[in-house]
Structure 1
Amino acid sequence: MSKSYAVPSSELPGYTAIYRHPDYKDGTHNNEYSDITTLYEVFQNLVKTRPHSDFLGARPYFPESSKFGPYRWITTTQAQEIVDNFGSGLDGLFEKYAPEPNESTGMQPLGIFSVNRPEWLLTELAAFRTGRYSVGVIDASGVGRAEFDMNHSEMHVVVCSMDKITRMLDRIKYTPRIRAIVSMDRLDCSKPHASTQPFSPQTIEKLKQKAREAGVYLTDMDQVIQDGRTNPTEARPSKPEDLCTLCYSSGTAGAQKGVLATHKSFVYAARSAALAMRFGPQTYFSYIPLYHVFDRYAVYAIMHTGIKIGFYHGDMQALLEDMQQLQPTVLTIIPHVLNRVYDRIAQASVAADSLSGSLSRKAYAAKLRRIRNNGALTHSFWDKLIFSKISALFGGRVQTMICGSAYLDPRVQDFFRAALSCNVIQGYGQTETMAGGTIQQRSDTSSNNVGVPNPGVDLRLRSIPEMSYHVTDTPGPRGELLVRAPNVFSGYLRDAEKTRESMDGEWLATGDIATVNPDGSFSIIDRVKNVIKTAQAMWIEPEPLESTYAQHPMIKNIFIYGSERERELVAVAVPDPASFIPWARKLVGGGGGGSENIDELCADLKVRAAMVEELKLLAARNNVPRPGHIAAVHLEPSPFESVSSEFYTITLKVRRHVVRAHYKGAFAALYKTLSCNDDPTVLTLTSASSAETL
């Protein structure tokens, strides 16, 4: 039975049929949750249905011991009071320092610059209460990224954690529109937080002086809340057609783009996820940056039925410690983080060369068979003996783990299903769809796919002949994934051309190549544009990198490859014989001796390793970020044009999909070598085939 519903007679030349969720064949939400039309109403409904319930939690910081305590909570009712007072205070602040709306949007943006914490979400809700929209400022891509977000969004007011204030004031000349900075932390340092550690009343006075000199009003959240309590204003909640957030994309094809999202679109995405998952009240762990849509998508979806949100304490290396304190029932996770945790756990269990390792492998094989045969996630004997210890690392209560943003290795997905006795679900979405696109059903125990269309979301594929992807391919159609639904974005801020390019009529062209599997599930298999997405969810443009590496005097041609399944980049490089042969001969033969046969020199492992080091040195000299470094190289003795006439178009542009296909085996060999160097046992010992025989 097909997992997706194909709408009869909906095929068009070059396009597949329209695919929908099997339980929502008419393409709508069947009027469920139709009374909730804005994200502010999602919050209001939570307050109404679960008053005085724990809502937002964080671990307090104790400077005397430099440690974090157990979670402390504010209730839904307390959050409503804070949002009302903070929203009122923001009204007064905007009236004084930023009275005019943004020329591009007709509304006022409110910047939020911080790691995930309760104040982040409270600030966004206060913005919605006063008819404004949020702009999450990204501080993860080097100097200049945060300033780009502030300038491009034309924001005047920023709410930030204390640790961001110094950076903002030091670089205030690069953000001339900023008029007011609101610290999430008390400026009198009376309430310690991880972000306040480097500060004292004396250093804060210096910051205040620097702000005055720059003409920037510096205050804190508690003061704005007090101002709002003293001078309350009437709530002016956003309407469904109003912007709720401006969210910056990853910049996959050049400069970052500001994705405009309305309340209508974001609520539709959240509602769709709520209907797909059918959650009851849950405890959720928030650590994926809130300036992206993925975490907020999950938060607002689960908020439909009840949610406690515990935030990490700011250290990505200590996520397990936070989870053990919080004991969450739902996790969203990205493959890069899950792979890192997997490596650590597997080495101590299924990959261990000991009696416990042998028992772990036997337990894993038994549970994997049970999951595949009847979908049962628990095993009374092996869970108690082996897997309860692993489950305890995550708090011991995880019921659902939702994974997105990059490819998830099926072996890792199966391992955590068995180890945590929980649903491990893959989904697919983009910033332009508010993260909503596809999701695996909770009863689905398959791997290597991203599930079926979300309720109320239409999907179809279109042929990409230049990449040899056709909707007539067998065993399943292949082509670019198109999305049509109310959760599709409103456009890119001040970029009508890019907005038009992203659409095929009323359909969003995602740029991702997908296939529809025989069972009706979808799998993402490639990208249309010349960009690479790694397993670390990093977007990389290979062509500028290739231009940089081609500057090396020993490199004649180079082709860079990566995929969602791998963490590192690899390459095929054609050396320049004139400079390469003398250099390589010294490595293999010493002095002037050794072979002059370029084929033998290119195949020599010592030469290849040395070439990787040469390329890393070149990358360092040219300030290439770490994700753009090449980890392994295949040396091709013949020029690309003589290897295959199909490598280039008539205008001498590289046909990347042809080169990829030709060197498929070489790339696989390079990654196998890297895998052996990094971890020779883990994935081998826990592969599905070997687990069945243990």
Structure 2
Amino acid sequence: MKLKSDVHPLLSLLFHCVVWIYSSIIFLPWSLFSGASVRQKRARRSKAVPMRGPAGPYRAVNSTQCLASSLRPGCDTLDKVFATSAKMFPRRDCLGTRVLLSEEDELQPNGKVFKKVILGDYEWLSYEKTFQAAALFGSGLAALGQKSKCNIAICCETRAEWIISAQACFMHNFPLVTLYSTLGGPAIAHGLNEAEVTHIITSKELLESRLKPILLEVPRLQHVIVVDKKPMAWPGYPRGIMVHNMTAVQELGAKPENMSRPRQPPRPSDIAVIMYTSGSTGIPKGVMISHSNLIAGVTGMAERIPQLDENDTYIGYLPLAHVLELSAEMVCVSHGCRIGYSSAQTLADQSSKIKKGSRGDTTALKPTLMAAVPEIMDRIYKNVMTKVEEMHPLQRTLFVLAYNYKMEQISKGYNTPLCDRLVFRKVRSLLGGRTRLLLSGGAPLSAATQRFMNICFCCPVGQGYGLTETCGAGTITEVWDYSTGRVGAPLICSEISLKDWEDGGYHSTDKPYPRGEIIIGGPNVTMGYYKNEAKNQEDFFVDAKQQRWFCTGDIGEFHPDGCLKIIDRKKDLVKLQAGEYVSLGKVEAMLKNCSLIDNICAYANSDESYVIGFVVPNQKQLTALAGQKGIRGSWEDICNNPVMEQEVLAIITEAAVAAQLERFEIPKKIRLSAEAWTPETGLVTDAFKLKRKELKTHYQDDIERMYGGK
């Protein structure tokens, strides 16, 4: 999608003349030495082939004989993978954390107080030191009574201690129960009780805010291990619960009698992680992931990252309780990469907790690899494009011309080094300036945002598709495939079939592309849900060759080159009163690129004839629009103003028509929300997926109003 601008005809003509002269001069050497023809050939080749008929299963062209299941010979459990990396890269940097120099409270114009921090450089633990820290911690946990094959929980923010704890558990065959740090008390208690946990690893902040209020609801819990160094004493906790510092547990593990204690290493089929999903519907489910499952998934993901080695630096900030982040970090550990830790509040120079004028984490770390969910990429896209709109007309015109020129060039396989250096360098510096690959997962990424990241950050976006139930592995686009809207071909560890869905009208015999429910099979498909046999029977099955398969509930179509496109989801499909089917996810995806929208949830009742929507508007854009209409007041007053609802609805309708949505798919009424949807509000998951059930409950009065009940 090209950017539009009020380009002066003479300036446009001048730009195109310069481009033509420049292209003519460099055409011959650039054609011979740029590698464009090779990239185009790779982009156009078949990436996967159906093994039997149009429904599949589809396999990557380099895994048609058998599916990959391991990175290296003999490394069939996660503790062996880490031990091998520690031997191969003993003195290489492994885990990095920034030093906190100072923090202060900053009063905002609205009276709220934000905490701002100034952070120093990254301090690093080598692979050898990380291995030693994990070994001592594992021995200490065993000395505290943690038994092999007995579950241990972790509820902690993404940080170096999370991975050290995980590796310690892998070494001693303690199945690790992962819980999101943003889960509510009842959900955390449910996970701890269901998994019969006696030991939990957490942080000081989460212990005080999340765990302390529910300790009495978890009768089996005996030991709480806090990863922070201070304080050393923890008074005021219920009798029978002991609170320890991580350092103290490591010191306990270092005692000769504990170091010499024999450990029981895991087998490939043993449970490595019980990962509780973020729960977009109902109570979180625990997914049992074996060592062999995770290794297969990591093997598949690593194959899609060219030239991955110890020279790469990865920035970790997504929740490690999410399979995307855990898998990505395991990929890095297995290849000797550096992992520098961050958070969404300190990621960039402009992030909410970074004091103005000081460096964000990407500036300090300069990562080469990064994973992100579409919600974060959409925010970056909208923020940059808003700044483009505020540029001087001449600057804006040059940016748009360069943007459209580069989009045309990359579609032909060419690089644009001059544009990258002169026009996009400042945008690229937002992520440190060295990023060579962005991995997107968790939800579909819009074509406009993907193309923006390709162009302005000067790197490919590997859009992936996978689920907790498949170790995050399924598909990832290849780096030289610059097409948009697709999620790539199956990874070398998995194969994908399409299952007919009669109710939705999707069939593997559809033309021009076979369509149906996506079914993923392979060694990365997990062991099933913890203590939930009924759900296991519904979602998992084993074929005649003893291969496990998972029914995703997502609807996809395969293109002739073997790449998959996600086109619908069973749970998102609603039948209106007149019989039309509306894909709520499709409506949301089409409208989220509207600059006035930060987030949107489409809703439809089968007893009604039209779609409605809940919208989190962009505060800057909506405030400016309100000023144009002469509407004053607080942010809440503006959002609650019926006139503003109608103004935003008109803009949404215009965007929907431009996106070629059907008449019955366009929301007829909306509710503006002054409150942003964050994992803390309970209205979205940690991966920023909408929690439709919670959103429906939250906006029940508005639903009744918009459908005429009130």
Deviation at 1:125, TM superposition (A): 0.3
Task: Give, in angstroms, the shift of residue 21 of structure 1.
Answer: 0.7
Deviation at 1:30, TM superposition (A): 8.8
Does 2:162 match 1:130?
A: no
Work out the percentage of aligned pairs sharing the same amino acid. Answer: 26
Whether the 8 Å contact between 1:246 and 1:259 is mirrored in structure 2 is: yes
1:225 aligns with 2:250: yes
The residue type equivalent to 1:215 in the other structure is G
CA distance, structure 1, for counterparts of residue 463 and residue 669 of structure 2 = 24
Q: Could you tell me which residue of structure 2 aligns to residue 244 of structure 1? A: 272
Shift of 1:518: 3.1
Distance 2:289 2:647 in 1: 38
Whether the aligned pair in 1 keeps the contact of 2:517 and 2:556 (CA below 8 Å) is yes
Q: How many pairs were matched up?
A: 547
The aligned counterpart of 2:21 is none
Q: Which residue among 364, 368, 382 is the counterpart of 2:407? A: 368
Most deviating of 131-140 and 456-465: 131-140
Alignment partner of 1:26 is 2:65:
yes
1:350/1:272 CA distance change after superposition, 3 Å = farther
> Cα–Cα, structure 1 residues 413 and 560, in superposed 2: closer, same or farther, change >3 Å?
closer
Task: Give me the whole-angstrom Cα distance separating, in 1, the residues matched to 2:385 and 2:245.
Answer: 45
CA distance in 1 between partners of 2:646 and 2:250 (Å): 50
Shift, 1:455, TM fit: 0.6
Classify the secondary structure of the residue corresponding to 1:23.
Answer: helix
Q: CA deviation at 1:142?
A: 3.5
Partner of 1:44: 83
Gaps of 5+ in 2: 1-43, 105-116, 352-359, 544-548, 593-598, 609-628, 630-635, 651-659, 677-710
Contact 1:560 1:570 in 2 (8 A): no
Give the SS at the match of 1:296.
helix
Corresponding residue number in structure 1 for 2:436: 399
Deviation (angstroms), 1:64: 6.4
Alignment deviations for residues 495-549 of structure 1 (CA, whole Å, 9 cap, x no partner) = 1110010024432111110011233210111112x248xxxxxxxxx99xx9xxx
In structure 1, C-alpha distance between the alignment counterparts of 2:489 and 2:180, rounded to whole Å: 31
The alpha carbon displacement at 1:18 in A equals 1.5
2:218 to 162, 168, 175: 175
Q: Distance in 1 between matches of 2:606 and 2:71?
A: 59
- Greater alpha carbon shift after TM alignment, 234-243 vs 288-297: 234-243
Partner deviation per Cα, 1:417-463 (whole Å, 9 max, x = no partner): 11121111101000000000001112111111000000131111011
Q: Deviation per CA, 1:644-689, whole angstroms, max 9, x where unpaired?
A: xxxxxxxxxxxxxxxxxx9932434669999xxx9xxxxxxxxxxx
Contact 1:350 1:358 in 2 (8 A): no
Distance change (3 Å), C-alpha of 1:222 and 1:250: closer
Match of 2:338 in 1: 308
Q: Is the 2:572–2:584 contact (alpha carbons within 8 Å) kept by the matching residues of 1?
A: no
Secondary structure, counterpart of 1:303 in structure 2: helix
Higher mean alpha-carbon deviation, 412-421 vs 221-230, is at: 412-421
Per the TM alignment, residue 283 of structure 1 is displaced from its structure 2 partner at its CA by 0.4
Q: 1:176 to 1:574 in 2, by over 3 A?
A: closer
CA contact (8 A) 1:449 1:522 kept: yes
Within the candidate set 278, 293, 301, 2:323 is matched to 293
Return the offset for 1:7.
Answer: 4.1
Distance 1:444 1:561 in 2: 28
Q: Larger deviation: 233-242 or 397-406?
A: 233-242
Give the alignment partner of residue 235 of structure 2, picking from 174, 194, 209: 209
Counterpart of 1:258? 286
State yes or no: 1:384 paired with 2:421.
yes
Letter in 2 for 1:416: M
Task: Find the partner of 2:95 among 44, 51, 56.
Answer: 56
Tell me how far 1:235 sits from its aligned partner: 4.2
Structure 1 residue 83: Cα displacement: 1.0
Q: Note closer, same or farther for the CA distance 1:210–1:31 as it changes in structure 2 (3 Å cut).
A: closer
Instruction: Give the CA deviation at 1:32.
Output: 5.5
**C-alpha distance in structure 1 between counterparts of 2:407 and 2:137, whole Å:** 51
State the distance in 1 between where 2:605 and 2:488 align.
37
Partner SS, residue 487 of structure 1: coil
Provide the residue aligned with 1:148 in structure 2. 190
Structure 1, unaligned runs of 5 or more: 102-106, 190-204, 533-541, 547-557, 577-605, 607-612, 618-628, 635-661, 679-694
Deviations 1:603-652 (A, max 9, x none): xxx9xxxxxx99x99xxxxxxxxxxx999889xxxxxxxxxxxxxxxxxx
Looking at structure 2, the residues matched to 140 and 355 of structure 1 have their Cα atoms a distance apart, in angstroms, of 45
Cα displacement (A) at 1:130: 1.1
The aligned counterpart of 2:35 is: none
Q: Distance in 2 between matches of 1:325 and 1:182?
A: 30
| Alpha-carbon distance in structure 2 between the residues aligned to 1:575 and 1:135 | 42
Q: The residue matched to 1:20 in structure 2 has which SS?
A: strand
Instruction: Name the CA distance, whole Å, in 1 between partners of 2:85 and 2:482.
Output: 31
TM-score, scaled to structure 1: 0.73
Aligned-partner Cα distance in 1 for 2:481–2:666: 29
Name the CA shift for 1:414/1:500 in 2 (closer, same or farther; >3 Å). same
SS of the aligned residue for 2:412 comes to: helix
Q: Distance in 2 between matches of 1:316 and 1:418?
A: 24
| Alignment partner of 1:67 is 2:118 | yes
Distance 1:432-1:87 versus aligned 2 partners, 3 A rule: same
Q: Give the aligned residue type for 1:397.
A: R
Show the counterpart of 1:415. Answer: 452
Shift of 1:23: 1.7
**CA 1:357 to 1:244, structure 2 compared with 1: closer, same or farther past 3 Å?**
same
Distance 1:381 1:350, change over 3 A: farther
Cα contact 1:289–1:295 (8 A) shared by 2? yes
Instruction: Find the aligned partners of 1:241 and 1:630 in 2 and give their Cα distance.
Output: 57
Task: Give the aligned residue type for 2:199.
Answer: V
- In structure 2, relative to structure 1, the CA distance for the partners of 1:350 and 1:424 (3 Å cut) is farther
Displacement of 1:124 in angstroms is 0.4
C-alpha deviation, 1:31, in angstroms: 7.0
> Does residue 323 of structure 2 align to residue 280 of structure 1?
no
> Which amino acid is 1:667 matched to?
E
Which residues of 2 match residues 473-488 of structure 1 at below 5 A?
Answer: 473-488=510-525
Aligned partner (choices 453, 463, 467) of residue 430 of structure 1: 467
Partner secondary structure for residue 188 of structure 2: helix
Cα contact 1:469–1:479 (8 A) shared by 2: yes
**Matched residue type, 1:210:** G
| 1:83 alignment partner in structure 2 | 134
Q: Is the 8 A contact 1:252 1:531 kept in 2?
A: no
Taking the aligned partners of 1:176 and 1:70, their CA distance within structure 2 comes to: 42
Once the two structures are TM-superposed, the CA of residue 164 in structure 1 deviates from its matched residue by: 1.6
Q: CA deviation at 1:151?
A: 1.8
Superposed displacement of residue 132, structure 1: 0.7
In 1, distance between residues paired with 2:103 and 2:662?
56
Alpha-carbon separation, structure 2, partners of 1:31 and 1:143: 38
Quote how far apart the aligned CAs of 1:464 are: 0.5
